[in-house]
Amino acid sequence: MDGVLTRTATLHQAAWRQVFNEFLQARHPEQRPFTQDDYNRYVDGKPRADGVRDFLASRGIRLPESSVDDPPGTATVHGLARYKDELFLQQLADRGVGVFPGSARYLRAVREADLRTAVVTASVHGAEVLAASGLAYLVDVRIDGVVAARDGLRGKPAPDGFLAAAQALGVPPAQAAVFEDALAGVAAGRAGGFGYVVGVDRTGQAAELRTHGADVVVTDLGQLLND
C-alpha cells in the first residue's frame, strides 16, 4: 500500500525521522542522524516495533521492550513505536492520502482483466488509508497490521502476510505476483515462493531491490502497462 499505491510512504519516513533523531539527539548525541538509507534498510515495510528494534540495533543500541501501553516517546521499543504512530496520524490528518496515478491505472486494468487483488501492509491503519485513497473497491483482500496481530503473522521480510493474502484469494503463491517498494517486502515475496516479484523504485534503490529478490524493477506501475 504505502509507496506502491499511496504516497503515504513519505509520511511514514518523516515520522520515523523525527522519532529517531529526537531520541538520538537526547540520548546518543554522538550518533549520526537517521537517513534515507536507514529507512530503506531497517524500517520500511516492517511492523513499527520491528522497525524500532532493527534500526537501533544497527547503531548498537538496545532498549527495553516494556508495554504497548507506554506513553508515546517513552525510551522503550513500544514507546518510540507509539510516538511514531502519533506523528504519522498527525501528518495524515494534515496532508491526506495521495495516490500514484500509474498505480491506480494499473490496478483498474488488473481488475478489468478479472484478476483478484490483495493489499498487504504492516500498517494498523490499512483500512482507513485504503478507504481514503479511493481504491478500496479495487481490492478483494486486505492483510494489515490489525490482521497480522490477530492471526500471529510475522512481519516482513517473513512472507506470512503475502501467504495469508494468497490463501484468502484462493491463489497458489506460484501463480501470484507481489508488488513492493520496500527491500523487506521484496525479500518477503521471494521467500514466499511467489511467481513474480515486482520492485517499485521510488527512492533510487533499484539495485538493492534486485539484490533482495525483485524479478523486475520499475519506477511506476504504469510502466508495466506501457511495456
Q: Do 40 and 127 sit in the same domain of this protein?
A: no
pLDDT class for 47, splitting at 50, 70, 90?
very high
4 within some domain: no
Question: Mean per-residue pLDDT for 54-65?
Answer: 97
Question: 95, 113, 132 — which closes off a domain?
Answer: 95
**Total structural domains in the chain?**
2
2 within some domain: no
Q: H helices within 73-182, ranges in order?
A: 77-95, 101-112, 126-133, 145-151, 160-169
pLDDT class for 50, splitting at 50, 70, 90?
very high
Task: Give the predicted TM-score (pTM) of the model.
Answer: 0.84
Residue 13: CATH number of its domain: 1.10.150
- Boundaries of domain holding 65: 9-95
Question: 95, 121, 141 — which closes off a domain?
Answer: 95
For residue 227, what pLDDT is reported?
A: 61
For residue 68, what pLDDT is reported?
A: 87
Residue 200: CATH number of its domain: 3.40.50.1000
Alpha carbon of 200 to those of 102, 117, 122, 208: distances in Å?
12, 17, 17, 11
- To 5 degrees, how large is the angle CA 163–CA 166–CA 168? 110
- The yes-or-no verdict on residue 107 having pLDDT over 80 is yes
What are the cell numbers at 94?
A: 494534515
Q: Given its phi and psi angles, is residue 213 left (phi above 0), alpha (psi -120 to 50 degrees) or beta?
A: left
| Tens of pLDDT, residues 152-210 | 999 999 999 999 999 999 999 999 999 999 999 999 999 999 999 999 999 999 999 99
Question: 61, 95, 129 — which closes off a domain?
Answer: 95
Q: Do 60 and 144 sit in the same domain of this protein?
A: no
Name beta bridge partners: 2. 6
Q: Do 89 and 115 sit in the same domain of this protein?
A: no
| Tens of pLDDT, residues 128-148 | 999 999 999 999 999 999 999
For residue 226, what pLDDT is reported?
A: 80
Q: Do 113 and 143 sit in the same domain of this protein?
A: yes
